[in-house]
Amino acid sequence: MKVNEIFLSIQGEGLSSGFPTVFVRFAGCNLRCRYCDTVYAYYEGEEMTCPEIFNIIQKYGYKRVCLTGGEPLLQDGLDELLGLLKGYAVTIETNGSVRINKITMIEGHSFVMDMKAPSSGHDNDMLMENFDCLRENDEIKFVIGSRQDYEWAKSIIDSYHSKGSITFSPVYGTVSYQIIVDWILKDRLDVRFQLQLHKLIWDPSVRGV
Q: Which residues define the annotated binding site for substrate?
A: 10-12, 25, 68
Contact predicate 193/142, CB 8 Å: no
Annotated binding site for [4Fe-4S] cluster: 29, 33, 36
Annotated binding site for Mg(2+): 38
Q: Would you say how long the chain is, in residues? A: 209
Q: Order across the sheet with 64-68: list the strands.
A: 46-47, 2-10, 20-26, 64-68, 89-94, 109-115, 139-144, 165-170, 192-193
Crossing angle (nearest 10°) for helices 177-186 and 147-160 = 40
Strand partners, 23: 7, 66
The whole-angstrom separation of Cα 15 and Cα 194 is 9
Nearest by Cα to 116 from 79, 71, 76, 75: 71
Q: Measured in whole angstroms, how far is the alpha carbon of residue 57 from the centre of its chain?
A: 19
Binding-site residues:
10-12, 25, 29, 33, 35-38, 68, 70
Buried b (16+ CB within 10 A) or exposed e, 130-165: bbebbeebbbbbbbbbeeebbebbbebbeebeeebb
Taking the CA of residue 8 as centre, how many other CA atoms within 13 Å lie in the half-sphere pointing to its CB?
A: 10
Which residues are known binding-site members for S-adenosyl-L-methionine? 35-37, 70
Cα–Cα distance for residue pair 168/192, rounded to 1 Å: 6
